[in-house]
């Protein structure tokens, strides 16, 4: 019984460590260029880069990223789950944007991409996330590719 409990605790720690490992790779990049966003293989215009917050403990809070392009910016929360197999992206509306007049195209776009993604590629300098369950493009394959 004692060996069984130790095995369960070790397995749980490994699962948590894997999510932390996936998160730390994204955080180490600090700035990731959005190289492609496609919906059913149709390329969408917004690119820019993600500035990843690095001073966050993933067990205490949900990390943020600021998406910046030439036209504006948007903030979203992100999180790896399921032992690093899933990536969650969730748009965050800022306090100054509450009236809706200050929202720019990128804010709407980040909201449309909110959803659960499968981690297709997770390397030191490149990541690819794929989803069929985003806010705007449900039942269509959305692919986000980032590089540093």
User: Per DSSP, what are the bridge partners of residue 146?
Assistant: 34, 127
Both tokens of 35, joined, read 């190289």
Q: Where would I find the beta strands (DSSP E) of the chain?
A: 31-39, 42-43, 49-52, 64-68, 73-81, 86-92, 115-122, 126-131, 142-147
- pTM of the predicted protein model: 0.81
Q: Rounded to an integer, what distance in angstroms lies between the CA atom of residue 81 and that of residue 90?
A: 14
Ordered structural domains, the chain, with CATH: 2-147 (2.40.128)
Per residue in 29-60, pLDDT (tens digit) is 789 999 999 999 999 877 899 999 877 788 88
Query: What is the mean pLDDT, run by run of 10 residues, along the chain of 148 residues?
Result: 42 56 84 95 89 82 89 90 94 63 75 95 94 92 96
Residue-level pLDDT at 6: 43
């Amino acid at each position: 019984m004692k060996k069984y409990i130790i095995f369960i605790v070790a397995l749980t720690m490994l699962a948590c460590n894997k999510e932390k490992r996936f998160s730390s790779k994204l955080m180490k990049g600090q700035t990731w260029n959005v190289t492609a966003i496609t919906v059913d293989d149709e390329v969408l215009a917004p690119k820019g880069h993600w500035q990843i917050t690095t001073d966050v403990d993933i067990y205490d809070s949900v990390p943020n990223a600021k998406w910046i392009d030439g036209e504006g910016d948007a903030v979203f929360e992100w999180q790896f789950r399921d032992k690093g197999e899933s990536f969650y992206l969730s748009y965050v509306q800022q306090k100054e944007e509450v009236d809706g007049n200050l929202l720019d195209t990128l804010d709407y776009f980040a909201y449309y991409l909110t959803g659960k993604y499968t981690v297709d590629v997770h390397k030191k300098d490149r990541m690819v996330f794929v989803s069929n369950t985003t806010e705007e493009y449900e039942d269509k394959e959305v692919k986000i590719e980032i590089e540093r």
